[in-house]
Amino acid sequence: MRRTGLILAGGQARRMGGIDKASAVLNGRPLIQHVLERLTPQVDQVLISGRSDYGSGLTVLADRTDGPAGPAAGLHAAAKHLAEVPDCVLITVPVDAPFLAPDLVERLCAGPLPAIAHAGGRLQPAFSAWRPADVAAQLTHSPAGAGLALIQLARNANARTVAFDGPGAFLNINSAEDLAAAEADVG
């Protein structure tokens, strides 16, 4: 099975004052570098859904505009991009989660797909695994600009839930305060 990681790096980062989250600095390095460092050993390939490759040289996929909006638009673009790749699994992670679990991909891919992480008493929809052809077919029928959230997509597909201990690996940095707290924890 070919495992492709997708870093969800789009969005407007309103709670971060409009700065590009991927470029926000944590412990002297941009958030995207932290995510790449933890995701790359777990997958065969990494793609970025966002505005730039952030100096990584990786393939960047623009969000599709012929289906849902938000993170689901990034998932849609990657699913379409990979739909013809045989035996492929697409694993999504957000760019603002620098502490990915080292066994995230292994555990998400250890059973039926799709799969979605669960930690800290809640579903973590941006941490999920999908078969590209299945998700491409489902999202192709969504109206353009529809606010179909990843969690709703997972529910619609009867996604398997994968339990993880504690929320630490799923910490999202959504504000300047979150960034400062994460810096204090790792500094």
The domain segmentation of the chain, as residue ranges, is 2-186
CATH number at 2-186: 3.90.550.10
Residue type, 33: Q
Q: Could you write out the DSSP letters of every residue in 128-184?
A: EEE-HHHHHHHHHTSPTT----HHHHHHHTTPEEEE-SSSGGG----SHHHHHHHHH
State the pLDDT at residue 16: 56
Of 68-72, 107-111, 155-159, the one with minimum mean pLDDT is 68-72
C-alpha to C-alpha distances, 144 to 76, 88, 141, 180, nearest whole angstrom: 11, 26, 9, 37
State the pLDDT at residue 186: 63
Question: 114 or 76: whose pLDDT is higher?
Answer: 114
**Distance separating alpha carbons of residues 58 and 74, to the nearest angstrom:** 15
Query: The pTM is what?
Result: 0.90
* Bridge partner list, 91: 5, 129
State the pLDDT at residue 56: 94
Beta strands 29-30 and 160-163, pairing class: unpaired
Q: What is the pLDDT of residues 18-50, one digit of tens each?
A: 678 888 899 999 999 999 999 999 999 999 998
Contact 109, 117 (CB under 8 A): no
Q: In what order do the strands lie in the sheet with 115-119?
A: 59-61, 45-49, 2-8, 88-94, 122-130, 115-119, 160-163
Question: What radius of gyration do the chain's Cα atoms show?
Answer: 15
